[in-house]
Amino acid sequence: MQRFITFLFSILISSTFYAQNQQYQGKFEPIDNMIPQPNVYRSASGAPGKAYWQQRANYKIKAQLDEKNNTISGDETITYYNNSPDNLNYLWIQLEQNVNKKENEDFGYAFGNVRDSMNTRHMQFLTRAIDFPAGYTIKYIKDTNGKSIRSLVNNTMMKVLLSKPLKSGESLTFSIGWSYHITDRSMYLLSREGYEYFPEDDNTVYLIAHWFPRMAVYNDTEGWQNKQFQKLGEFALEFGDYDVEITVPADHLVASTGDLKNESSVLTKTQQQRMAMARKSTDKPVMIVTPEEARANEKNKTTKTKTWKFNAKNVRDFAFASSRKFIWDAQAVPLETHTAMAMSFYPKEGLPVWSESSTLAVKNALEVFSKEVFEYPYPVCISVNTSNIGMEFPMISFNGGRPVNGKMTDNAKAGMIGTIVHEVGHNWFPMIVSSDERQWMWMDEGLNTFISQRTMEERYPEYPHTQPKSIVPFMSGDKSIMRPIMTTSDNDLLSQFGANYYLKPTVGLQMLRNSIVGKELFDQAFKEYANRWKYKHPNPADLFRTLEDATAVDLDWFYRGWFFTTDNVDMELTNVKWFTVANEENIENRNNVTQAKIKAENAGENTSDFAGGPESITMVPTPDQAYGQFLSRMDDPEIRKQLYGKNIYEITVKNVGGLIMPVTIEWQYTDGTNEIDTLPAEVWRTNEYEITKTFIKEKQVKKVVLDPNFEFADTDTKNNSFPKVEETSDFDTFKNSQVTNELFDTYVGTYRIDEGFEAKVYRNKTEFYVKVASSPEDRIYPESKTLFRVKEFDATVEFVPSIDGGKMGIILARGDERYKGVKID
């Protein structure tokens, strides 16, 4: 017995020695202690529980847009349904327009350093030195009998004090009168709504969003979700039905959430005829309002008004846009059970790109998302053009991207189309699968980006799309400023926001689908999650549990590492040993030997290549005592026959980055052929830091490579090969190949960004840098003569020569965020 134990120890000691010098981190332990426990409301399978409930709020709103004073006022009636098991003594209502009040805090501090020279707009962001009456005026809150209801306002939340508790199962109807001054979108940082003024023709495009007092969410996990709106984290909202009447100047067109109910009252007969044509046109958009008509409409302002009436069923929000500048086109999109209308509204400044591309992008998104998630349920889907932002609401989105002098670079056009596809995709996440954006913004941004990237890959293969290697610059960045994905939205850094909530979840889902679970099984599980939770409020635990429940794959190791830590993937191929079995004709006649004997010079030492040839293994008969009481015996000659002439390779892989992943191994043979083996992530269970694995190959290997197809976002590919070779990164490959110092010097200078901050571009010898506002400088690496990438996170800097009267232009982009500016020195 002692000899047998010693024998086992001699085998195991080499594989466990490394682990003994490392602290066990439990990377494969369940995450049950990190997420809420299942209960009758949310089941252990990830599905809604048998007692799941959620509140509901129906709205009737009558609103008036005052173009002269840039104000909007409204009277709304809310019917609130208490479906919870609790009695409620008060209600919370969201007042997001209050975020811009001087006494309230928002993200003005994001670029919070005062410098020697600053433009006026930037100073306004920092100091609020502007006389603008932001925020709501609440005129009244009253019950159905006209009796006033007391309320208290705390920044962006209003507490409605009930005269008696709203009991479980009861409903309450009350009314609110309100008004506010619409903000100029250029006045405030991170503005998702407001108006855009066009001085050339003295007209305005109004983007009206989070514009009416809305019920806060009350749910089973948090009670009231009444976190203050701070602009970065977005919204949590209840579903309901909307009847909305919007009174605007009579020459305005209104694009809105919902179904237009009085088309004959607000559209001309010609426009109605064109709409009828559009409802039958499935191959191309039909112009409802032509560019020529929109130009003529700009010139004649009326003092008359029209009231547009919309109805929306089972939506969580309502938004609209209004302007006399709008060109309008529409097209029918047949889906499995109904036909939806894809529409675009845009000013002439969007021509010709918007007429060519916007409605087509809406159509493409509707078709792919309906196929990959579930069918789009609403009657219409609208894309409205504005400057710089991308923002989503049920059935309508506001999307940036405009040509300059009628022209658009390929990268800018790809960004515009990608933004439209992405914002349309938000109709699924979070407008229907209604996660809490203020708490877990990655749940909608990440899942939506995952499918929108598949849409871009399928319908726009000519444009770049996100891959696992896209996250490498971010994952290999400064860990001291990183946050895990499972960080509350408002607590992340603005500089990390796009990578952490958009890109990293997307890449994680791509790896699960393509390399860990498998496409067919993962797609079924993803659809299962979406269908389980449509028109409901899922949490991260519901997603995690559903993906495991619907795949039978233990993914806790992946969730733990990818979502709860800032570890990165860095696997090092530390050594490869090459063996062959010796041909010994009389080996059976040898004396019994108690253990296997390996004859090899330098056995146990690392080698740097295969030049020394294979080491030789002498196989001897297995001693009887090794079999114990087993009567059967291995056929030693047959085993030797199977192994003789074969190449035996032993590889050692070290987990340098800390993040567990499957191990993909490419064998490059001397005859020019390749083969790939994949080890599942579970190979790391007993040793989280180093593994050794043996393979038998018919052919002779000349090179071994880990993660050859960049499936797992390995942050250092230079240590992935044997023999080791020095590899040049993608960024360094471009460093001097296309951009000379002389060319880059034409880009050097200070740029004024439209949102009010500045970006400085400069060169240090052969290294190029950008410094945005008061953020730290970032080195940028050329990808072409005009396009550069920031290595620390997935962002680009594009230089656009000769715009705005011959000035050098700049576009800063990350995810769906795009900021344009011009050179000022």
Question: How confident is the model over 475-489, as pLDDT tens digits?
Answer: 988 888 899 999 988
Radius of gyration of the chain (CA): 31
Domain positions in the chain are: 569-712, 733-823
Cis peptide before 133 (omega within 30 of 0): no
Segment 492-546, tens digit of pLDDT: 776 677 889 999 999 999 999 999 999 999 999 999 999 999 999 999 999 999 9
Output the pLDDT for position 411: 86
What residues form DSSP beta bridges with 341?
332, 380
**Which whole number is the average pLDDT over 614-625?**
81
- CB of 474 closer than 8 Å to CB of 501: no
Task: For residue 521, count CB atoms less than 10 angstroms from its CB and return exposed for 0-12, middle for 13-18, buried for 19 or more.
Answer: middle
Q: Return the ∠ at Cα 235 (arms to 232 and 238), rounded to 5°.
A: 175
- CB of 183 closer than 8 Å to CB of 194: yes
- CB of 256 closer than 8 Å to CB of 320: yes
Indicate the residue type of 231: K
Cis peptide before 723 (omega within 30 of 0): yes
Q: How far is it, in rounded angstroms, from Cα 53 to Cα 316?
A: 16
Angstrom CA distances, 169 to 56, 83, 85, 493, stand at 11, 5, 8, 41
Segment 322-366, tens digit of pLDDT: 999 999 999 999 999 999 999 999 999 999 999 999 999 999 999
- CB of 634 closer than 8 Å to CB of 642: no
Q: Which residues of 166-202 are buried (b: 16+ CB within 10 A; e: fewer)?
A: beeeeebebbbebbbbbbbbbbbbbbbbbbbeeeeee
Helix (H, G, I), strand (E, B) or coil at 563: helix
Q: Return the ∠ at Cα 510 (arms to 396 and 464), rounded to 5°.
A: 65
Q: Which residue has the higher pLDDT, 85 or 746?
A: 85
In the chain, % of residues over pLDDT 70: 86
Q: How far is it, in rounded angstroms, from Cα 63 to Cα 307?
A: 9
* Range of lowest pLDDT (80-94, 254-268, 596-610, 677-691): 596-610
Helix (H, G, I), strand (E, B) or coil at 468: helix
- CB of 63 closer than 8 Å to CB of 95: no
* Range of lowest pLDDT (648-657, 706-715, 776-785, 796-805): 796-805
- CB of 695 closer than 8 Å to CB of 702: no
Q: For residue 289, give the nearest of 303, 304, 300, 278 by alpha carbon.
A: 278
Q: How far is it, in rounded angstroms, from Cα 763 to Cα 780?
A: 10
DSSP character for 515? I
**Which whole number is the average pLDDT over 42-60?**
99
Output the pLDDT for position 643: 84
Q: How far is it, in rounded angstroms, from Cα 597 to Cα 617?
A: 7
Residue 704, pLDDT above cutoff 60: yes
Q: How far is it, in rounded angstroms, from Cα 114 to Cα 127?
A: 10
Angstrom CA distances, 578 to 610, 619, 641, stand at 7, 16, 19
In the chain, % of residues over pLDDT 90: 67
Angstrom CA distances, 238 to 80, 81, 211, 229, stand at 10, 10, 16, 16
How many whole angstroms from its chain centre is CA 700?
44
Q: How far is it, in rounded angstroms, from Cα 172 to Cα 78?
A: 8
Q: How many CB atoms lie within 10 A of CB 603?
A: 11
Task: For residue 423, count CB atoms less than 10 angstroms from its CB and return exposed for 0-12, middle for 13-18, buried for 19 or more.
Answer: buried
Indicate the residue type of 555: L
HSE-up (13 A, CA, CB side) for residue 530: 26
Indicate the residue type of 619: M
pLDDT level of residue 737 (50, 70, 90 thresholds): low
Q: For residue 484, give the nearest of 468, 496, 469 by alpha carbon.
A: 496
Angstrom CA distances, 325 to 71, 230, 253, 289, stand at 19, 32, 8, 10
Q: Model's pTM, two decimal places?
A: 0.86
Ramachandran region of residue 19, left (φ > 0), alpha (ψ -120 to 50) or beta? alpha
DSSP character for 310? E
Segment 177-197, tens digit of pLDDT: 999 999 998 777 778 899 999
What average pLDDT does the chain have? Answer: 88
Output the pLDDT for position 121: 66
Q: Is the CATH number 2.60.120 carried by domain 733-823? A: no
